[in-house]
Structure formats: C-alpha cells, structure tokens
Amino acid sequence: MVVRTLPQYPIKKGEPAYKIWIFEPGWKGELPLITNPRQLAEQKRPALLPGHRLCAGCAAPIIVKLASLAFRGPTIVVSATGCIEVATTIFPYTSWAIPWIHNAFENSAATASGIESAIKALKKTGRLPYDHVDVVVFAGDGGTYDIGIQALSGAAERGHDFLYILYDNEAYMNTGIQRSGGTPKFAWTTTSPVGSVIPGKMEHKKPIADIMVAHRIPYVATTTPAHWIDLMKKVRKGIEVNGPAFIHALSPCDRGWRHAENLAIEISRRAVDTCYFPLWEWTPEKGYMLTDRSLSIARNPKLKQPIEKFLELQGRFRHLLKPENRHLLKELQEYVDAMWEDLLNRATNAPK
Amino acid sequence: MVEERLRGWRELPLGAVTYRLSTDYKTGDWRALKPVVNLNKCVKCMLCWIYCPDMAVIWDGEKIVINYDYCKGCGICAQECPVKAIDMVPEYEER
C-alpha cells in the first residue's frame, strides 16, 4: 500500500491548501452551497488536485473545480475519454481527490447508470453507510455529441439519477483539433481547413441541450465558467433533482480556438454577451428560464454585442473578419440572432 | 522528489489503478511568465482563487499566495483581476 502524502503549505486560517475528500462511514447531512468567494476559499477545497497536465489556460479544470465546490457530499465521478481523462490520470498519477472511474469514449453514461444502480442496490440491502452518494459525469463534446450520445440518451430514457456535465470545447482537442458535432459553422479545424474551397466547417453546431430537453429529463441547463455562481447553482440543482440532469458548459480551448492563453474566461463571457451561447435552464414544470447575464440581455437588448466581439479574439475564425468574407459573417450573425429570438419566444421569464 | 523504483508487473495494482497523487508532479516548470501579486493593491475578492485552473492560488487566511510549484503561468488571474493587482513578469530575465 502506497502512502499518499499531500504537500503542506502554511495556512493561518481555514482548511489546508489541498485535501483529499474523505467521508467517514455514517456521514450524514449535506455540504452547504457557499457563494461568498472568501468563505469558499476558507472552507471548501476542490476535488481536483494541482499537478494535472491540462494545457496552461484551459477552461475545463475551472469547470471541474467549480462543479466540485457545489457537490453536496460523497460523490463518484465518471469521465469519458477526453482531455480531462487523459490529462488528469496519467499513470501512475491521479489528480482526483474523490473516487473516479473511466471506462471508454462511448459509455460514460452507461457506466454512470451502472454505478447508480449499484448504489441503489446497496442502499436497499442496508450496506451503504451514507444517506446519498451522487454520480457525476464529466465528458467532452466528442464523448457526448458524437460517440456517447446513444449511451446518454439511453441513460436519460431509463431515468438513472446522475448529473452529466458536458464541457464543450467544440472539437476533438485531445487528439489534435478534429471537427466534432459541436464545432460551430465556419470554424477552422484540422479536418475542416480554411481555404479557397471551403470556409471552415460547413455545418451548424448540434443543439445538444435541446436534444436533452426533448428527453424531458428533470433538469437541463447551459453555463460557462465565467459565470461561476450560475455554474455552481446549476450543478447543485442538477445533483439535487431526482433523475438524470444535463449541464452544457462552454469550455474555451486556447490550443484549438487559437486564442491567447489568458483569455479563456473573457471569451466565455463574450460568448454569452453576444448571445452565441445563451445561459438558460429547463425544468418540466417551468420550461425554459433565462439566467444570469442572458436574462439581463433579454430585459435590456442594448447589452447584446455583435458576434465580431466573440470572433475577434479567436484564430479559428480569423478568416471571417476579412473583407471578402463579409457575407459569411452576416450569415453567422443572422443564425445567432434567429436562435436567440427563438429562445426568447420559448423562455417563460423573458419580457414579451 | 526522489522517483521511486519502477514497479514490475507483480507489484502493480490490478486494473490500471492510479496509485500516486499528481501533486508529486510539479507543473511549475512549464511557466514562461510568472504572476506576482501586489498585496498593496489586492482587495481580496478571491476571483483569482476561483478562476485559477491549476489550484495554484492559495488563500492562507490573510493574503493570497501563489504556489509556484504548480502555476503554469497562463495569466488568467492577471486578466481577471478587477484591480490589476497581479503582474505577469518573465520567469528568466534576458541577459
């Protein structure tokens, strides 16, 4: 048995700098959801440890970290193959301070359903020493949009109680920026190169969150790491509902989106400000509800920015800003506007 | 950190179980730019703690400390700091 030791850093007040989440058998109650940043920094520690080998400036660990700050107790994390899995668990190292399992690219939702059924069986026979054990899936866009959608759809149909968090970096970044079902139209990738024949990818992004809404599961939401309170609240809601929940989080990738490595948060903020990626949540009772910044934009349309604001920071859309490609930019702006109008019509809390 | 002897197949845990913490692997040497906190300007809003992708910002109860063992120098903290109290300085001065 290897003794695991964490590095110690001097702390005057609060929790140690890094800790492994250990819940004694018989642990009861729920961890509180704290949204005061100072209290968070004193009382909570993320489930991801430093030393993971994701690129500098990646937004995926921010999503994992913020989500883990909203966990309510003992949690098991399932990861599909993707950047998170490859970079956090390079043998023999692991970055997870909580139980973690990886199976394959396509069956993260199926693995999560199995774990959830096992927990249910243990609870029934009185062998589970906890009130509740939550199952959370972290999967990338390749493992959700393309390869994993049948497992996800099946798990949603069977109604297993788990939370599926999709961190969407809009291509297969882990294997070298190939297009996926999540890549937006006109984006450069290595398999949809920009040139004289095609202007980047020719198809629109698949509306994965709306596909999950069509399953009528108890909770669906979209979020970005820049709106961190919004993300934490949605993760907590998704864990608390009884049944499958799905959260679509935008995760800027500095290598694949070709932006400076300090801009991940700024780009996700602009994605919401330009209505390219609106923030909403859906429940069967209330329907679509806009949240956070998108609700402000719905109430005051002057806050909506043109799509160039989002594109200008990214090298994968550089060709759209050239004068000869103005018609492409106009087409993209019209598409974003149409999607936003459509969402406004569906949203129950948007001013009519 | 002294690297332990590589294990043979008899000693490895079954089922590809990872048995060491990644905190043993210091990612600080990836860094080209180094964040330096100006504590006179810092308002302790903790946004750098929240947005740091590498958990390299430590709140010790009184002030922000950057953990250079793990900081990869991405600069998100300096970009998001509302009072611009964090400067990115080159790790090695050119001579």
Q: Cβ-count burial of A308 within 10 angstroms (0-12 exposed, 13-18 middle, 19+ buried)?
A: middle
Supply the CATH number for residue A272's domain: 3.40.50.970
In a domain, A231, yes or no: yes
Name the phi and psi angles at A38, rounded to 5.
-65, -45
Give me the tens of pLDDT residue by residue for chain B, a chain 95 residues long. 455 677 778 877 787 788 888 888 888 888 889 999 999 999 999 999 999 999 999 988 888 999 998 999 899 999 999 999 999 998 876 55
- The terminus-to-terminus CA distance of chain B in angstroms comes to 31
In a domain, A63, yes or no: yes
Domain span at A190: 37-346
In a domain, A226, yes or no: yes
Mark yes or no for CB contact A7/B23 under 8 Å.
yes
In a domain, A1, yes or no: no
Q: Determine the distance in angstroms separating the CA of A50 from the nearest CA of chain B, rounded to an integer.
A: 5
DSSP string of A33-57, one letter each residue: ----HHHHHHH---SB-TT--PPTT
Is A172 in a helix, a strand, or coil? strand
Tell me, yes or no, if A124 comes closer than 8 A to chain B by beta carbon.
no
What the block records as the tokens of B84 is 């611009």
Residues 11-40 of B with CB under 8 A from A: 16, 18-27, 30-31
For position B1, what pLDDT does the model report? 46
For position B22, what pLDDT does the model report? 87
Distance from C-alpha of A325 to C-alpha of A178, rounded to nearest angstrom: 23
In a domain, A28, yes or no: no
Tell me, yes or no, if A225 comes closer than 8 A to chain B by beta carbon.
yes
Is A289 in a helix, a strand, or coil? strand
Give B-chain residues touching A41 at CB under 8 angstroms. 46, 49, 59
Give B-chain residues touching A232 at CB under 8 angstroms. none
What does the buried/exposed string (b/e) look like for A18-54 if buried means 16 or more CB atoms within 10 Å of the residue's CB? beebeeeeeeeeebebbeebeebbbebbbbbbbbbbb
In a domain, A24, yes or no: no
Interface test with B, best of A44, A261, A266 (most B CBs within 10 A): A261
Tell me, yes or no, if B67 comes closer than 8 A to chain A by beta carbon.
yes
Chain B residue with Cα closest to A261: B74
In chain B, the domains with their CATH numbers are 27-90 (3.30.70.20)
Mark yes or no for CB contact B50/A18 under 8 Å.
no
Tell me, yes or no, if B61 comes closer than 8 A to chain A by beta carbon.
yes
Residues in chain A with pLDDT values less than 50 = 1
Give A-chain residues touching B45 at CB under 8 angstroms. 37
| Total number of domains constituting chain A | 1
In a domain, A244, yes or no: yes
Predicted confidence (pLDDT) per residue in A204-260, tens digit: 999 999 999 999 999 999 999 999 999 999 999 999 999 999 999 999 999 999 999
Selecting from B20, B30, B60 the residue whose C-beta is nearest the C-beta of A93 gives B20
Name the phi and psi angles at B46, rounded to 5.
70, 15
For position B3, what pLDDT does the model report? 56
For position A275, what pLDDT does the model report? 92
Residues 331-350 of A with CB under 8 A from B: none
In a domain, A351, yes or no: no
